[in-house]
Amino acid sequence: MTPTTILLFFAFIFLPLASCAPPPAPPPTSPSHDPATLFIRSRCNLTRYPDLCFASLSPYAAAVDGSAPELARVAANVTLARLRGFRAHVAALRRAGAARGRAAAALRDCSEQLGDAADQMCHTHNELRGLEELVPTEVEWRVSNAQTWMSAALTNEESCSDGFNEAAAAFAYGGVGSGGSGFDVKTDICGRVRRVKQYTSNALALVNSLVSGR
């Protein structure tokens, strides 16, 4: 077992299962020139996908109020909401019988992996609570924990698409929304994985910035 695997194993044993509420509806968006909004723009420039970062987080500018730790926590919570929505989509495809053979197994495994990723993102969210009230050594420890959870979430997201790339069975779907013309489940799932990984990558960059001095 790798050190990361061992850490996660013991964390799941000794830590209570984290519970996270979905992110609240954002307050009215601040003007683009508002200092709180400009702060989010500047922080999002540290991420790999700055436009997505700003679009998803700027509605929370007033709540973040210029706090880098709070912005990272909100980013984790927004990513958690995306993961939960993605998993609900996978569940709907499974109920519709969207895949056969190995593809059906890949869809089942993806659901489990997304569930694990959501749990890990929830732990990340909880690690980032109240960082501004802690001494630097405690902040470093909590951020390190958050980085570990988020890296594990990225691994689970990647595993979801890997399962579809390895599956040889055909995909078929003719349910609501397909227009009766069939539906490529692999393309749909892998596209959604790429998108949720962008959210996770951005959130991880914002977490990393808490200890990088940026």
Domains of the chain, by residue range, sit at: 31-212
Mean pLDDT of 138-163: 95
One-letter identity of residue 102: R
Q: Which pLDDT does position 184 carry in this prediction?
A: 83
Mean pLDDT of 3-15: 40
Please report, to the nearest 10 degrees, the dihedral formed by the alpha carbons of residues 172, 162, 5, 68 taken in order: -90
One-letter identity of residue 66: G
Q: Which pLDDT does position 116 carry in this prediction?
A: 97
Cβ atoms of 118 and 79 within 8 Å: the answer is: no
171: phi then psi, degrees, rounded to nearest 5:
-110, 145
Q: How many helices (H) and strands (E) does the chain have?
A: 8, 0
- At the second CATH level, the architecture of 31-212 is Up-down Bundle (1.20)
What sign for the dihedral angle of Cα 194, 195, 196, 198? positive
Q: Which pLDDT does position 29 carry in this prediction?
A: 54
Max CA separation in the chain (angstroms): 59
Residue 212 banded pLDDT, cuts 50, 70, 90: confident
